[in-house]
Amino acid sequence: MDLLIPDKAHDESRQGEALVLEPNGKHNGRKLYIESYGCAMNFSDSEIVASILADKGFETTKDFNNADVVFINTCSIRENAEVRVRNRLKEFAGAKFKNPGMVVGVLGCMAERLKAKFLEEEKLVDVVVGPDAYRDLPNLIEQVDNGQRAVNVLLSREETYADINPVRLNSNGINAFVSIMRGCDNMCSFCVVPFTRGRERSRDAASVVAECTDLFNQGYREVTLLGQNVDSYKWTAPVAEGGEALAVGDEVKIVNFANLLEMVALVSPDLRVRFSTSHPKDITDEVLYTIAKYDNICNYIHLPVQSGNSRILDLMNRTYDREWYINRIDAIRRIIPECAISTDMITGFCTETDEEHKDSVTMMDYVKYDFAYMFKYSERPGTLAAKRYADDIPEDVKQARLAEIVAKQQEYSYYRMQARLGRVEKVLIEGFSKKSDKDYCGRSDQNAMVIFPVTEGYKPGQYANVLVERTTSATLIGRIV
Ligand code: 5AD
Ligand code: SF4
């Protein structure tokens, strides 16, 4: 599942933003410019890339005109994501013309999807690197320095970058992404991710906990555990300390996602834990009980439904039907009554009738999502749907259906916000609000954005109890009590 996280990586303002980090004291005299598109995993990967290159002495810059290496970490999920990257490459052309030694690299999903074809199609590009090949970047840059163009799009069954402690780009020092697994084995028929990010593999649980502990000790107060499908996280750990190879007869311990959540929650009660993304087929009651048990595991679940109709869900190869999904929603409401729920929805999937679309609308009525990402179906080359089904819903019908669910969601977002009026929310202060440095902003446990006046004695990184006095459909407004 794809890691759309409200107001974080998927905040429109972060898409394509220059990502920079504090100098680490190593210099090789060269400057790296990196920008990222798409999901939170891509933003997290850009931090791995920056770590690998910072270690080789690269410093980051906000201006691609001054850079020696220009990287664009790409997304392939919908066609317009790719169009955006192509347009952006055109903007780099002038800088490269002035500085012919500049290395231009395409990273991420689009690199993986197009492979060496990218070099033919975009003359500007020197390096094409898939998401499992970032350790090779220093070599690939060297190849370009020696006059060759370079490609590494090998996917791996093992690579989790577990040992790389990523630097944090554009960090506020409070929230961080921590990747816990890579790839996806689900093969939803509309989705390119299994092709661009390869097979699913989980990262060593001990390294996840160590990274979260380290973040907490540096002052971070919130981690978001990332995976395409966090509920299928599975790590087989040797019980003995030290992590030696397992010998026959050794006792082993399997760490599932509920166990991992608990391990991270125990790092400190002051460390908030979020996660994304959950898959309706895999989210267990054990996970829900773990969320309910720990105050610092946030009451917020992103549970993409994609469609409310069982026939369409079957064509999408989602491996659950409407009843199953509703059963999971009911379980969340039962076990974590205060839980906020968000979703992803696709309109106009192949052969979807008006009646079937209505099932998506009634699903929204049933759940009353706090938040939703909504898309028109966009056929992606190489996917099962592209091979099997015609993309036969006219653009205007897709658009009208999308407009209908967007309007519906607007109502429910407002409804959910209104329900918080007069309540006191525990907010982790993240910084000044975008509009004014007289106000702080931060997020509630349920992931709602909260704005309130700066108050003496409170600083970013601290928790505050905020009484909600007003709302919009996206924000709670109040004051510290
Ligand atoms: N067309 C439209 N939306 C898509 N998504 C993934 N693939 C496609 C596609 N081909 C949506 C899904 C997914 C989210 C990240 O993007 O809703 O959960
Ligand atoms: Fe998510 Fe399905 Fe794509 Fe996997 S295949 S990333 S579960 S949408």
Q: Are 349 and 377 in contact (CB under 8 A)?
A: yes
> Does residue 257 register a pLDDT over 80?
yes
CA–CA gap between residue 385 and residue 380 (Å, rounded): 8
Q: Residue 342 CA: which ligand is closest?
A: 1
Q: Does the annotation flag 212 for ligand binding?
A: no
Give the atom of ligand 2 at the shortest distance from the alpha carbon of 187: 5
Query: Which pLDDT score is estimated for 12?
Result: 65
pLDDT tens track for 437-447: 999 999 999 99
Q: How confident is the model at residue 5 (pLDDT cuts 50, 70, 90)?
A: very low
If you average pLDDT over residues 50-79, what whole number do you get?
95
* Nearest-atom index, ligand 2, CA of 1: 1
Q: How confident is the model at residue 10 (pLDDT cuts 50, 70, 90)?
A: very low
Q: Is the CB of 344 under 6 A from ligand 1?
A: yes
Question: Does ligand 2 come within 6 angstroms of the Cβ of 1?
Answer: yes
Domains, the chain, in order of start with CATH, read 7-152 (3.40.50.12160), 175-418 (3.80.30.20), 424-480 (2.40.50)
pLDDT (tens digit, 9 = 90+) per residue, 72-126? Answer: 999 999 999 999 999 999 999 999 999 999 999 999 999 999 999 999 999 999 9
Q: Are 88 and 73 in contact (CB under 8 A)?
A: no
* Nearest ligand by distance to the CA of 343: 1
Q: In what order do the strands lie in the sheet with 340-347?
A: 300-302, 340-347, 371-376
Q: Report percent pLDDT > 90 for the chain.
A: 88
What is the model's pTM? 0.93
Q: For residues 275 and 231, what is the distance between their CA atoms, to the nearest angstrom?
A: 10
- Tell me which ligand sits closest to the C-alpha of residue 282: 2
> Which ligand 2 atom minimizes the distance to the CA of 229?
7
Average pLDDT over residues 397-412: 98
For position 59, what pLDDT does the model report?
94
The annotation status of 184 as a binding-site residue, yes or no, is: yes
Cα 211–Cα 216–Cα 220 angle in degrees, nearest 5? 105
Q: In this structure, which residue's CA is closest to atom 12 in ligand 1?
A: 344
Residue 88: closest CA among 35, 48, 50: 35
